[in-house]
A and B are shown apart, each in its own frame.
Chain A
Amino acid sequence: MRIGFLQVVFTSPCCKVIPYYVTNKQRIVLCRQAKEKLYPRKHKYLHCSCAPSTTRTKEDVLKHYEAVIGIEVHVQLATKSKTFCACPTSFGAKPNTNVCPICLGFPGTLPLLNQEVVQLATRAAVALNCEIALKTKMDRKNYFYPDTPKNYQISQNDRPLGKKGYITLPSGRNIRIHRVHMEEDSGKMLHQGASSLTGSTHTFIDYNRAGIPLIEIVSEPDITSPSEAAEYGEELRRIMRYIGVSDCNMEEGTMRLDVNISLRRRGEKQLGTKVELKNINSFHFVSRAVDFEIIRQGTLLLQGQKPIQETRLWNEKSQSTMTMRVKEVASDYRYFPEPDIPPIQLEQHQVDAIRRSMEELPAEKRKRYVEELGLSLYDANNIANELSIAKLFEATVRRGVAPKLVVNWIMSDIMKYLNQRRIDISETKLNSENLAELISLIENKTISGRIAKDILPILMEKGSSVKSIVEERGLQQLTDKDKLEQLIKDTIVSYPKEVEMYKSGKTKLLGFFVGQVMKSTGGKADPVLTNQLVKELLSNGL
């Protein structure tokens, strides 16, 4: 920051950028317009061309324009060590503890590529239906920035590992994948001070993240709506988790999204000005950010202006995007083949083996559930969401249980139990055997549904067979008609007042009697039979 030098830093919640000056006392002096804008005397909101009164609605915009969206995703590969050195990749380690001379870019060090990186990246590219480049190489991307110790990033440029793939969204649409390539991550910069734009002049850097393996997945601009953009992100995450390439946790940063969006007039082929959106860290915000951009760009276009080609940051607090950087010229990264990493040559039979041994992908599972097992689309989507749940479902169905019953159990009680404790099904002792047993015991009326719901947590925690639990605790359903009748008679006799009220017309009290009977049997009475018998006995008079 030079004294007196005009810096362009503040942004208003629209596309306007406000200048400020640096004085010799390192104080920041705002020019008059900026002061007026930041600390306005009367108005609560900043004036800008996107003020609410002139903003058009989404419907207005979409009448004339359509959104063209492409998404770039960086996925961290689940390896134990970094891409080019043996440093651990553990999350949450103290700053600068998972570092070594190689990832810190010390002179004289040489990188050595991790074989697991190639394996996982190939698996990902195959799962995304890409054409795999059997002969691929790493390239050097040269630029200077504090988070890149070597002053270059080893990435892939002109021969990426995978090209021309596609994924199938739950809605049935296919989104094409432009490319999939391997690269290394950079360090983490923590700006000290009030915000990342102003404040103190220091930045802290933690290089634990530098050198961690990533794959970059770039989609073609096939996405057309905010919800589709979120769906794409979710499906990508689902696929990566299915094949065990990454756990895709947005909070831990193992999956990062950048959205590129432009609007073009309906019917035209030429693309409009592209705007890049960053700092979106959940799928919900993806659709919100795209919504906002459609309105913002649409408003500008409808007013006869053109959006600027720039990078914008998504601001969670204001739920809007703000200008981060306006790039006039594309960066010159001076790509050349990385001399320190010999090229990678894969054999066709290796790729075929990966394809054969891969898990059935979510899209295939959904299709199979709907077509072969007769599930609804909604149910199929939910069951196929997590691989562990899908596996439990399939194994239970294979034991002869009706799919719909399994679906009901999974989507209600089982998911509730898992969500409350924030665990995965694999961390419980419930397996397809005892789930199938539980459901069959309900079907043959050995136990009631109510009792089964109580047995479920025991199964989750301790496992063991359902039959043994039922016998141990005497949870068998009471279905003996005579015994039940006697019990009901006893209960009815002890509530003469309610009997009178029932006889005089308050038929709702039937539920009261049934409830009392259930209570006295500890929930073991067959509810359907009880209901029937109580009705009979009450109406026939005691």
Chain B
Amino acid sequence: MMTGRICATFVVPFGCSVVSLSNKRVLGRSFIKNRSLCLKRQDPRMSKMEFDEEEVKKICQLAQVQVSKEELKQFASDFNSIVQLIKKMDRLDLSGTEAAEYVIEAHNKLREDIPKNFQERDALFDNAPAFTQGFYQVPKILEDTQHSEN
């Protein structure tokens, strides 16, 4: 589970989208991003993805995952081996295909605007560490470094 979680968080910062290996014929009118993403993948700067401990530390901060110094080294090498795995795709000739954001054909799955009250709310609040006077109670956070309230 841990590796899976790390996988999701590290793949994203580098702008990789879900790449479809099947060619256009099978997907039909799938959602096609413009060609620039394909070019981005083959950009020499992108393929030089070597993780050092600083970057791993930053990624773990973004994911709010605590790591010890020994784990940092281990993760750096793990990340690098995962990147190597994905780099194998660069060996394929994908010039005929276009990058897709969504693999399945579905679109416009919308629901009607009908309000409905959820009844078993108390069961939800029972899960909270602190819930008083109808409010969720949390420790005060002075100022989040990344984001603050609207």
B-binding residues in A (CB < 8 A): 1, 7, 9, 74, 79-81, 86-89, 94-101, 104, 106, 112-118, 135, 137, 142-147, 185-186, 189-191, 193, 197, 200-207, 256, 311, 324-325, 331-332, 334-337, 339, 341-345
For B108, the chain A residues whose CB sits under 8 A away are 342, 344-345
For B118, the chain A residues whose CB sits under 8 A away are 87, 99-101
Say if the beta carbon of B111 comes within 8 Å of chain A.
yes
Please, could you name 19 A-B residue pairs with CB atoms under 8 Å apart, sorted by A? A1-B142, A86-B115, A88-B115, A88-B117, A99-B124, A100-B124, A112-B109, A143-B146, A145-B141, A145-B149, A186-B149, A191-B140, A203-B140, A204-B135, A325-B143, A336-B12, A337-B102, A342-B107, A343-B102
Contact A137 B101 (CB under 8 A): yes
Q: Which residue of chain B has the shortest Cβ distance to A341 in the bound complex?
A: B109
**Contact code string B96-111 (vs A, CB < 8 Å = 1, else 0):** 0000011010111111
* Known interface pairs A96-B125, A185-B150, A202-B137; A114-B113 also in contact (CB < 8 Å): yes
* Known interface pairs A81-B113, A96-B121, A336-B17; A342-B104 also in contact (CB < 8 Å): yes
For B150, the chain A residues whose CB sits under 8 A away are 74, 185-186, 256
Contact B146 A203 (CB under 8 A): no
Partner of B138, one of A81, A114, A202, A339: A202
Contact A189 B149 (CB under 8 A): yes
Contact B136 A205 (CB under 8 A): yes
Q: Which residue of chain A has the shortest Cβ distance to B146 in the bound complex?
A: A331
* Known interface pairs A97-B121, A332-B13; A343-B138 also in contact (CB < 8 Å): no
Partner of A116, one of B12, B106, B113, B143: B113
Say if the beta carbon of B148 comes within 8 Å of chain A.
yes
Provide the bound-state CA to CA distance between A379 and B107, in Å.
Answer: 48
For B104, the chain A residues whose CB sits under 8 A away are 342
Provide the bound-state CA to CA distance between A331 and B148, in Å.
Answer: 11
* Known interface pairs A81-B116, A96-B125, A145-B144; A342-B102 also in contact (CB < 8 Å): yes
Provide the bound-state CA to CA distance between A118 and B102, in Å.
Answer: 19
Chain A min CB distance to B39 (Å) = 16
Say if the beta carbon of B114 comes within 8 Å of chain A.
yes
Say if the beta carbon of B51 comes within 8 Å of chain A.
no
Chain B min CB distance to A17 (Å) = 12
Chain A min CB distance to B89 (Å) = 18
Partner of A190, one of B112, B121, B135: B135
Contact A202 B109 (CB under 8 A): no
Instruction: Give the number of chain B interface residues (Cβ < 8 Å).
Output: 45
Chain A min CB distance to B11 (Å) = 8
For A336, the chain B residues whose CB sits under 8 A away are 12, 17
For A311, the chain B residues whose CB sits under 8 A away are 148
Say if the beta carbon of B9 comes within 8 Å of chain A.
yes
Partner of A114, one of B18, B62, B111, B139: B111
Interface residues of B in 1-27 (CB under 8 A from A): 9, 12-13, 17-18
Chain A min CB distance to B7 (Å) = 13
Chain B min CB distance to A474 (Å) = 53
Contact B149 A334 (CB under 8 A): no
For A191, the chain B residues whose CB sits under 8 A away are 140
Q: Which residue of chain B has the shortest Cβ distance to A82 in the bound complex?
A: B115
Contact B135 A95 (CB under 8 A): yes
Contact A144 B102 (CB under 8 A): no
Q: Which residue of chain B has the shortest Cβ distance to A207 in the bound complex?
A: B136
* Known interface pairs A342-B102, A342-B106; A81-B31 also in contact (CB < 8 Å): no
Provide the bound-state CA to CA distance between A517 and B10, in Å.
Answer: 91
* Known interface pairs A256-B150, A345-B108; A81-B115 also in contact (CB < 8 Å): yes
Say if the beta carbon of B64 comes within 8 Å of chain A.
yes
Provide the bound-state CA to CA distance between A88 and B113, in Å.
Answer: 10
For A114, the chain B residues whose CB sits under 8 A away are 110-111, 113
Q: Which residue of chain A has the shortest Cβ distance to B102 in the bound complex?
A: A343
Say if the beta carbon of B134 comes within 8 Å of chain A.
yes
Say if the beta carbon of B147 comes within 8 Å of chain A.
yes
For B107, the chain A residues whose CB sits under 8 A away are 342-345
**Contact code string B58-101 (vs A, CB < 8 Å = 1, else 0):** 00001010000000000000000000000000000000000001
Chain B min CB distance to A81 (Å) = 4
Provide the bound-state CA to CA distance between A112 and B115, in Å.
Answer: 13
* Known interface pairs A7-B142, A206-B135, A334-B13; A81-B114 also in contact (CB < 8 Å): yes
Provide the bound-state CA to CA distance between A87 and B110, in Å.
Answer: 15
Q: Which residue of chain A has the shortest Cβ distance to B109 in the bound complex?
A: A342
Contact A79 B62 (CB under 8 A): no
Partner of B111, one of A97, A113, A147: A113
Contact B62 A332 (CB under 8 A): yes
Contact A337 B124 (CB under 8 A): no
Provide the bound-state CA to CA distance between A79 and B64, in Å.
Answer: 35
For B144, the chain A residues whose CB sits under 8 A away are 143-145
Contact B138 A104 (CB under 8 A): no
Provide the bound-state CA to CA distance between A185 and B149, in Å.
Answer: 10
Contact A80 B142 (CB under 8 A): no
Chain A min CB distance to B126 (Å) = 12
Additional 12 contacts, C-beta under 8 A, given A101-B124, A334-B12: A88-B117, A95-B134, A100-B118, A112-B111, A113-B111, A137-B31, A204-B136, A205-B135, A206-B134, A344-B107, A344-B108, A345-B107
Provide the bound-state CA to CA distance between A97 and B116, in Å.
Answer: 11
Chain A min CB distance to B112 (Å) = 7
Provide the bound-state CA to CA distance between A70 and B140, in Å.
Answer: 32
Chain B min CB distance to A75 (Å) = 13
For A112, the chain B residues whose CB sits under 8 A away are 109-111
Partner of B140, one of A87, A106, A202, A341: A202
Partner of B9, one of A80, A95, A334: A334
Provide the bound-state CA to CA distance between A96 and B126, in Å.
Answer: 13
For A205, the chain B residues whose CB sits under 8 A away are 135-138
Chain B min CB distance to A118 (Å) = 6
For A337, the chain B residues whose CB sits under 8 A away are 17-18, 101-102
Q: Which residue of chain A has the shortest Cβ distance to B110 in the bound complex?
A: A115
For A324, the chain B residues whose CB sits under 8 A away are 148
* Known interface pairs A135-B31, A206-B135; A104-B110 also in contact (CB < 8 Å): no
Contact A96 B135 (CB under 8 A): yes
Provide the bound-state CA to CA distance between A206 and B149, in Å.
Answer: 13
Q: Which residue of chain A has the shortest Cβ distance to B139 in the bound complex?
A: A201
